[in-house]
Every structure is written in C-alpha cells, then in structure tokens.
Amino acid sequence: MGLKILGTGYYLPETVVTNEDFTRIVDTSDEWIVKRTGMRERRIASEPTHVMAEEAARRAIENAGMSPEDIDLILCTTVTSDYITPSLACIIQGNIGAKNAVAFDINAACAAFVYALDMAHMYLQNGYKHILIVSAEGLSKITDYTDRSTCVLFGDAAGACIVGWGDGEFKSVLGSDGTGAHTLFARRPLNDVPFVTQVDPQSVDHFPDVNRPGVLYMDGREVYKFAVGAMSKALLGACEKAGLQPKDLDLIIPHQANLRIIQSAAKELGLPLERFYVNIDRYGNTSSACIPVALAELNAQGALVPGKKVGMVGFGAGLVYGGCVFTL
C-alpha cells in the first residue's frame, strides 16, 4: 500500500537575513557563502517554535479540506522544541484542537521528516487514517552567531502535511552511524544539582570541547563527506526496494544543507540537477523543516501531480540518513 499527501502547509518567519547581514557580525562575504553553499538568505524567527508549527499545521489541515478533529495521529519532528517536556506534538494537539489525535515527537535531526513519513506509513497499516506530520525548527535558538562556519547555514521554518492511504508503493531506507555523533551536536547545559558534582557527558564521550552548551558544533568537512555518500545510498536503496531506477523519479526533494551536496548526489545518481527541488538560496538549512516546506511550495505551485513518482532524501546529526520513494 502507498501513501498519499492529502494536504500541505508551511510557515516562514517574516525576518529575512541576507548574506550581507552576516558580514556585519562575522568575517565572511556574500561571495563565499553563495559559492560554498548556494545560500543567499534565510528567515529568523522571533516567535517560538510551537507557534510556527501550529500555523503550518493549521494551513495543512485547511489545504486538505479537513478539520482538526479528523486527525488521529500527530508526529512532530524538531531539535528546537520550546519545552524539554511535553512534546511539541502535544502542544500543537492542544492548541489546534485535534482532540482525537495521539501525539508525540521524533528526534532524527535533519532527516526526521523522512523518518516521520516512514513511521506514518507503518501507523497507516495499523489503522490510523489521517496523520499530521509537522516539522518545525527554530535553529536560530541553537546557532552560535560567533562561528562563521556554521551561523550562515541555518534558518527557521515549519512545514506540515497530512498523509493517508494511497495507491502505489511507499519504500524507504533509513540508516544511522552513531560513531559520527561527535561531528555534529549541541549539548544541554548542566543543571545545578545539590549533593553531587555532575560529570559533563562531553568529557566522558570525548566529543570535542569546542563550543558552549546549547549551541551547535559541526565538523563541516566530515559531515559533508558523510552527506554526499548518504544521499545517494538512501535514494538508490529506496529505488531498489521499489523496483525503480533513480531516472524513473519525476521529482526529488532533498534536504537543503548545501547546494554542492545536492549537485554531488545528482552527479552520483546520474540525474540532471533540475530533477531536484532546490530552495536553499531562499531559506538555507531549516533542518527537518526543509523537505515539508519544499513539499508545500511544490503543492502550491500545482507540481504534485497524481501519478508522479517522488523521492525524498535527508541526512543529519546522529549521524542519520533516510530516503523514500512513492507515487503521488
């Protein structure tokens, strides 16, 4: 059984930050950022993550012609929830009035939307009918704006979709490599605890002691190498399971981390770059929100034509990757 996109929505904060804006806070240039990443501008939120998430969710429900009560499961992906607990999914469930929905979060960093789709596909087989997936990221909350090699990369956004049963097949490949965990991470500040002196996990895990708690550290070159291999491996694997060749895919929605990574994956897969949807120039890397925002933009453009074969592929901290293919 396949999976059908019943509705999509997205939300972008108003504030646009250009490459030029970064030249005022770190030693960088528009030319370097465009050449090395393909990024030109990104959005930065003043609103909490859950506000972006709820707006994207409401728009997806409206786009599907449904009401919040029709949703029976909410899966949220985020690494920047406003609360440690409860889950972002429960906050959304309460605020939009999806009173019949079970709600919980998934943490698979930038690849999490593909993980959520995969999980939704399993829950559909379990009897759930209308699953709302919301991916919302306020990455500006965990970005180190003194580090020029990471701060220019990230933006804030939320994307959502509702999925139900569809014709055709849904096939996916997920993978993890925890030995690369130290190449991309943000650690939680230690709490002040009476009675004991807590051991910083970083000191026993041998992660590099390079950034302050709460902000992202990334070994860009290592992640880059992982990303190029993971993108083609995940997409090829999902195609193989579906009995397809990459060239059979009409449209590929990749994670938007670096235009050069997308170009390399296209080359490895022997596909023209035009087959890949790219909006990295406008929004930068919005982690798990990249793919659903792109999906919603494509839907608004009328590009999600029934019968077309679509591939999605993401990778991120963990390290993790995931790819899937299905018929729209």
Ligand X SMILES: CC(C)(COP(=O)(O)OP(=O)(O)OC[C@H]1O[C@@H](n2cnc3c(N)ncnc32)[C@H](O)[C@@H]1OP(=O)(O)O)[C@@H](O)C(=O)NCCC(=O)NCCS
Q: Are the CB atoms for 162 and 66 separated by under 8 Å? A: yes
Site size toward ligand X (CB under 6 A) is: 21
Burial class (CB in 10 A: 0-12, 13-18, 19+), 193: exposed
Q: Which stretch binds ligand X (CB under 6 A): 59-67, 145-153, 188-196, 272-280?
A: 145-153
Instruction: State which of residues 17, 89, 108, 110 lies at the interface with ligand X (CB under 6 A).
Output: 110
Contacts of 183 (CB under 8 A, 6+ apart): 218, 219, 222, 223, 226, 319
Q: Is 110 one of the annotated active-site residues of the chain?
A: yes
Does residue 282 touch ligand X according to CB under 6 A? no
Q: Which of 152, 159, 154 is nearest to 141 (CA)?
A: 154
Say which DSSP state 112 is in. Answer: H
Q: Does residue 285 carry a catalytic annotation?
A: yes
- The reply to whether 161 belongs to the active site is no
Give which of 313, 42, 268, 71 is closest to 172, Cα–Cα. 313
Catalytic residue among 110, 151, 161, 239: 110
* CB closer to ligand X out of 25 and 300: 25
Q: With binding defined as CB under 6 A, does residue 257 bind ligand X?
A: yes
Of 134 and 227, nearer to ligand X (C-beta) is 227
CA dihedral 224, 137, 308, 240 (to 10 degrees): 40
Q: Which residue lies nearer to ligand X by CB, 32 or 104? A: 32
User: Is residue 114 close enough to count as binding ligand X by CB under 6 A?
Assistant: no
Residue from 133, 174, 223, 228 binding ligand X (CB under 6 A) = 223
Q: Closest Cα to residue 255, out of 222, 229, 278, 225?
A: 278
Give the catalytic positions in this structure.
110, 255, 285
Contacts with ligand X, residue ranges (CB under 6 A): 28, 32-33, 36-37, 110, 148-149, 152, 184, 218, 220-221, 223-224, 227, 257-258, 261, 285, 316
